[in-house]
Amino acid sequence: MTSQVEIYNLALMNIGLSETVASLEERSKARIICSQFWQITRDAVLAEFNWPFATKFETLALIADETKPWQYTYQYPTDCLKALYLVMDGLLQPDEKMQPEYETAYGDDGRVILTNYPNAVLAYITRVEDTGRFPPLFVIALAWRLASHIAMPMTATQSLVQSCMQQYKITSQEAWAEALNESKFNFNHQSEYVTVRNG
């Protein structure tokens, strides 16, 4: 299990700093800068791939019976970072051609999901705040992504930003491959990195 502080320190080491963060309450420059970028970086890495550990299934709350041209309007889950697909009865993950159509929009109650599918269950990537759930390769990739954001405010070295992003691309591919190997699902991920890698 890796803590948020440990990921901060991995990111600091990735940009060549020996300075470390001891707690999330300290007032050091390193802690403040890491904290400023933490949530948006974590959520971006989570949303970039269909991670099994972050995949959640939830029955959507119906808001309205009809929003033309759609039959049903559902509340978008508050912890959803990326909607994946609507689950069909009897099929945990239907083929892409069989998946019910939907679209996201903004209504009076915030973000919503519009579809013609009744009693909709959404598969989505949820915001995972418990770092203890992060697989080791995900932690490594996240630390490199965080390092790319803190490099400039901590070192004022532009080349470090590019270097950290290159390392993030490499380590994230390794994490994606591991996630795919541990699942029988075909995630249909369309990342440019995977596309380039597969030619």
* Per-residue DSSP letter, 132: G
pTM of the model: 0.85
pLDDT tens by residue, the chain, 199 residues: 899 999 999 999 999 999 999 999 999 999 999 999 999 999 999 999 999 999 999 999 999 887 789 999 999 999 999 999 999 876 666 667 778 899 999 978 799 999 999 999 999 999 999 999 999 999 999 999 999 999 999 999 999 999 999 999 999 999 999 999 876 554 444 333 333 333 3
> By the 8 A CB rule, do 58 and 124 touch?
yes
- The residues with which 82 forms a beta bridge, in sequence order, are 125
pLDDT of residue 66: 76
Residue at 84: amino acid letter: L
Closest by CA position to 51, among listed 122, 134, 168, 132: 134
Q: Provide the strand spans (E) within 1-148.
A: 55-59, 62-64, 72-75, 80-87, 102-107, 110-115, 121-126
